[in-house]
A and B are shown apart, each in its own frame.
Chain A
Amino acid sequence: MSSLLRGEEMCLAQLFLQSGSAYDCISELGELGLVEFRDLNPSVTAFQRKHVNEIKKCEEMERILVFMYCIITSLAHSLSLSLCLQEQLQRLEVELGEVTRNKEKLQRNLLELTEYTHMLRITRKFVQRTAEVSVSLCNLHPHFFISGLIQRVKIEAFERMLWRVCKGYTILSYAEVEEYLENPDTGEPTKCVVFLISYWGDQIGQKVKKICDCYHCHVYPYPSSNEERNDVVEGLRTRIQDLHTVLNRTEDYLRQVLIKASESVYTWVIQVKKMKAIYYILNLCSFDVTNKCLIAEVWCPVNDIPTLRRRKSGATVPSFVNRIPTSDTPPTLIKTNKFTSGFQNIVDAYGVGSYREVNPAPFTIITFPFLFAVMFGDLGHGVIMAVFAAWMVLCENNRKLKNTRNEIWNTFFEGRYIILMMGLFSIYTGLIYNDCFSKSLNIFGSGWSVKAMGWTKEQWENNRFLTLDPNVTGVFKGPYPLGIDPIWNLASNRLTFLNSYKMKMSVILGIIHMSFGVILSTYNYLKKYNLYLVFLPELLFLLCLFGYLVFMILYKWLAFSAKDSRHAPSILIHFINMFLMQGDGLQPLYPGQTGLQIFLVVIAVLSVPVLLLGKPVYLYWLHNGSHRLGLYRRVRRNSEEELYLMRAHDMEEGSSHSDLSSSGENPTEEFDFADELLHQAIHTIEYCLGCVSNTASYLRLWALSLAHAQLSEVLWAMVMRVGLRMDSTLGVLFLVPVFGLFAVLTVSILLVMEGLSAFLHALRLHWVEFQNKFYGGTGVKFCPFAFSLLPSSFEHDGLL
């Protein structure tokens, strides 16, 4: 509990790791996840560090793993082996690379052969036609043929260029292949066209060949006679069959290799990630003079140092843990569990607490859902919210819910305990407000009796509104045991009554909340004078003015009953008169009121100059006092020169250590009176004005709860009541869609939208009104080196 309130006590420790076992030690520390390493070579750039090569190797392995992962997923199979990862990986990569290359070659070959057969089949049809044309010509010149396949999209441009370049001295005939052939470069099925060009002369032939190259045609030799054609077709058929069997074999082999590897590819990824992380940490360490062991500096919770020592001594080569004193501010560590972490996140979103600063989170656990519920008070809505959150809490180990990538869902899921608390508190406030979907529950029976008024029949018929008078005996039998009396749900002046109640309640809650914040600030004061010169005037100021307001509200509630309610004074007037110091015309609330009020105002006014001047003047006095003593000390330091020599000596001894001490070196704090005064003046103004504006700010509790209640009432009146008004049997059927609409609107508007708005306002009340009374939030979060915090999935970090 003390850890949650103040954060863990941290210390700076020096680890001496034998260079032989450094890797194992760091790996052990990564499993523990207790320490945060400090960079001891900040001046060295990333690629000049010692273990860059190892990191590069890790990256190389990552690359291979990505490569393998791609192959494996493409085969829809999933890859197992142990250490000496790198060798294995590289061997596997080479093997896989070769096999896939082989496979590709074979497939290409197969494709060519199929294309060739297609071409032969189709050109056969051309031959008859061309034969007729060429018969007359071939006597004059020998004519040649070029035939091949071209992609269908290119055929038009191809034909055009052929015509232009060869000026028509060619004959082109083409036909489409019915089947889709696979494009060897992209792997997509494409439509191809078989063409046959006949031409005369070598010159043109050169050009035609070049054009064919240009359009990436696949050119195949054209058989001159029918017998030759048949031979080729026959030859091709057998070769294709052979290729099919070879391809099948290769695929089988590939599959075997991959299955072997697939079982452990995930563990490999994790191993490589761990390795890389360890080398990154090793890069942060520095070598000692003898180069035999590594020195690392870590932040570590004091309580965990024994654990650390125990684990270290367990390693084969002993390493040492050493606490070193430091003036640097340690990082903040607040240990949380799954319940408190959500609330801690709310606080951290505002600012991570400074080291050992009082942590608002433990109080937030109660106050946050409570203030939320004050604004959200409705029993029905609260139950729905609590049930939803309870379901999430019960299913929190369900992997499907945990690991979704839907960010909106994750936000809700992370905050399931907050939502649960908010729901439960809403049930409570709903009971107090006696609101359930804008209707009141009459559990204990109302404390008001209409019968006792003794109204006649005429009165009933002639008046729209009748007033119940509590002063008539028997009408008011005493307060309702829990919350607001359900009869108010029928009253026409319900809103007036509730407004007055809710407004006063929010002021009371606000002032209690703020005073609590001021009291918490005592935890943060290290010096005693702060208690008298800052805390006390602050508290007096708040309590004398606004605390007294609360007192008046409570006093009025208790002192005036229904009988003398006509004489009940207005608190507002009394409060204003308190500042004006004139209360002559009014009836005092209690004897001695004027005297007490004057006394309180004087104290409040007096505490302002104390707050403003007390601390700076006291510090000034302290400083001047010590200044005189300091003279004596300064004489002993003979010269600056000697100091310089001492420092140079330090530097020789341990370069790493002096590096750090020089950064944090500031032994005597320079005291600047004007500076201090300015700061205190700003603080005073902020605080005094803040007390007024923050009190007003708490009225949002009233406003939001009013809005929520009104909205749910409107929803009932506009939707549900319409459905309930039909009194035929058809009304039952009509009620089904109406209720559907009502349910959807209730969830979407009242639960989600109103919930979010109430959440935001509760957040603001905590961040601004509560935390600015005591919380600095200027710390740095402790981020330990832990393997569990590494992104484990493939998706992160470029892996995939």
Chain B
Amino acid sequence: GTETLTFNVDHGYLEGLVRGMKAGILTSTDYHNLAQCDTLEDMKLHLQSTDYGKLLSSSEEDLTVSLVDSKLRANLVTEFSCLRSNALPPLSTFLDYITYSYMIDNVVMLITGALKQRDVAELLPRCHPLGAFDQMAAVGIARTPTELYSAILVDTPLAPFFQDAVSESNLDEMEAEILRNKLYKAYIESFHSFCKNIGGVTADIMCPVLEFEADRRTFIITVNSFGTELSGADKSALYPSCGKLYPEGLRLLAKAEDHEQVKAVANCYPEYKLIFDDPEPGADFKTLEDRFFEQEVKLNMLAFLQQFHFGVFYSYVKLKEQESRNIVWIAECVTQRQKSKIHNYIPIFPGTH
């Protein structure tokens, strides 16, 4: 289409940048070497030879897993803010959309923290910096979702997602979790339609990724709701309606009572059948979460096969996040001397060197 013709005028530089940064994603040899490390110091030494460079060595304090985690996170934020500050619309809106999911997580974390009487100053450093916003610290003041919306979040970009979530019930942990899912549903539907409006390759790439994301949340909500008093109607109000499961799958899932029923629903969809399949007897056992992550990585890698679209930015952030999770997992295993589990990370771009 015409957008391919003019894409590079506005976004060519950033796409080139993000593809360059993607080349720095750790390869299977890097993971292999990392998995051989005996201490965090060794990991630091090895990461020096990758694109992370002196990231870990420039700190004065002793290395801990949490320090590694926060450094990796800070690294991602630096890269992302570089992209964001150079972006022109509609890419800038697209990038903002990526941050909204972190904002939702931060809001819910602050609410649950406030419910447990934690100090805000203690909670703030634990928020994801990609989802930071000015009014964040005041979230603890609100007692009901309505109050949260009308007093605090009305100025933030999260406001439009609140349309369905406004209620007068008191915020407790369950309510916070429901609030998270409602916000997320609104967010993902809005993001989906935004990508669809952009059209072209961006829609081709992003829609499957977001549909998968929506379906993953649906499955997770269903599995987590076992043993709670959440009714079928309550559940279906939380399911994002932009996924492949919509509408028939969602109806069936709302009724599901145990794991077998969820599996039966998944069996109707070839892409999810694999995830719910029983593991082969010889293979390593992987949690449902890990299998979803694996699938997500696969989808995100596809984004790099095409040019002139925004999907690469989303995919890069997600892949980089997965990489941080992998490094932190390996670091955890190294410090706790759990060598047997060290290979349970999710490889990104396997077979590339």
Contacts and interface: CB of A to CB of B under 8 A. Distances in A.
A430 to B, nearest CB: 48
A215 B150 contact: no
Nearest to A67: B60
Contact of A164 (B36, B46, B54, B154): B154
A532 B141 CA distance: 98
Contact of A210 (B37, B140, B154): B140
B135 interface: yes
Secondary structure at the A interface, as helix, strand, loop or mixed, is helix
Contact of B134 (A56, A157, A210): A157
B56 to A, nearest CB: 11
B3 interface: no
Given A56-B41, A157-B155, A46 B49 contact: yes
Contacts of A211: 138, 141
Interface in B112-141: 120-121, 134-138, 140-141
A249 interface: no
Interface string B238-279: 000000000000000000000000000000000000000000
B33 interface: yes
B57 interface: yes
B42 A47 contact: yes
B82 interface: no
B151 A161 contact: yes
Contacts of A46: 45-46, 49
Interface in B41-87: 41-42, 45-46, 49, 53-54, 57-58, 60
B188 interface: no
Given A211-B141, A214-B136, A161 B152 contact: yes
Given A157-B155, A160-B155, A164-B151, A47 B120 contact: no
Interface in B19-55: 33, 36-37, 41-42, 45-46, 49, 53-54
B53 A798 contact: yes
A210 B141 contact: yes
B54 A214 contact: no
Contacts of A214: 120, 134-138
A59 interface: yes
Contacts of A213: 120-121, 137
Interface in B144-175: 150-152, 154-155
A215 B134 contact: yes
A165 B151 contact: yes
Contacts of A157: 134-135, 155
B94 to A, nearest CB: 25
Interface residues of B, number: 27
A136 to B, nearest CB: 29
Nearest to A207: B141
Contacts of B58: 63
Interface in A202-259: 207, 210-211, 213-215
A45 B33 CA distance: 9
Nearest to B140: A210
Contacts of B141: 165, 207, 210-211
Interface in B222-238: none
B53 A56 contact: no
Nearest to B37: A47
Size class of the contact patch on chain A = 20 to 34
Interface string A158-173: 0011001100000000
Contacts of B60: 63, 97
Contact of A161 (B33, B45, B135): B135
Nearest to A153: B134
B45 A52 contact: yes
Given A47-B37, A157-B155, A160-B155, A56 B45 contact: yes
Interface string B186-228: 0000000000000000000000000000000000000000000
Contacts of B151: 161, 164-165
Contacts of A161: 135, 138, 151-152, 155
A164 B150 contact: yes
Nearest to B44: A56
A436 B152 CA distance: 82
A647 interface: no
A63 B36 CA distance: 26
A154 interface: yes
Q: Which of B46, B121, B138, B155 has the most CB of A within 10 A?
A: B138
Contacts of B37: 47
Contacts of B137: 210, 213-215
A467 B155 CA distance: 95
A191 B135 CA distance: 20
A526 B269 CA distance: 72
A47 B45 contact: yes
A366 B159 CA distance: 78
Interface in A148-187: 154, 157, 160-161, 164-165
Given A45-B33, A56-B41, A154 B54 contact: no
Contacts of A160: 155
A236 B57 CA distance: 43
A524 B141 CA distance: 87
Contacts of B120: 210, 213-214
Contacts of B45: 46-47, 52, 56
Nearest to A215: B134
A210 B123 CA distance: 14
Contacts of A52: 45
Contacts of B150: 164
B334 to A, nearest CB: 12
A213 B120 CA distance: 9
B353 to A, nearest CB: 16
A46 B135 CA distance: 48
A639 to B, nearest CB: 40
A193 to B, nearest CB: 16
A720 B155 CA distance: 72
A594 to B, nearest CB: 66
A763 to B, nearest CB: 32
A157 B152 CA distance: 10
A198 B137 CA distance: 22
Contacts of A47: 37, 42, 45-46
B134 A63 contact: no
A207 B152 CA distance: 12
B134 A45 contact: no
Contacts of A45: 33, 36
A15 B301 CA distance: 51
Nearest to B43: A47
A45 B135 CA distance: 49
A52 B45 CA distance: 9
A211 B151 CA distance: 11
A214 B114 CA distance: 14
A154 B134 contact: yes
A648 to B, nearest CB: 29
Contacts of A215: 134, 137
A161 B154 CA distance: 9
Given A52-B45, A164-B150, A165-B151, A59 B136 contact: no
Interface string B294-330: 0000000000000000000000000000000000000
B31 to A, nearest CB: 14
Contacts of B121: 213
Interface in A656-675: none
B144 to A, nearest CB: 13
Q: Give me the 8 closest cross-chain CB pairs, A-B, nearest first.
A: A214-B137, A214-B138, A47-B42, A165-B151, A164-B151, A47-B45, A210-B141, A211-B138
30 contacts: A45-B33, A45-B36, A47-B42, A47-B45, A47-B46, A52-B45, A56-B45, A59-B57, A63-B57, A63-B60, A157-B134, A157-B155, A161-B135, A161-B152, A164-B150, A164-B154, A165-B151, A165-B152, A210-B120, A210-B137, A210-B138, A210-B140, A213-B121, A213-B137, A214-B120, A214-B135, A214-B137, A214-B138, A215-B137, A798-B53
Given A46-B45, A164-B151, A210-B140, 9 more contacts: A56-B45, A157-B155, A164-B150, A164-B152, A165-B151, A213-B137, A214-B134, A215-B134, A798-B54
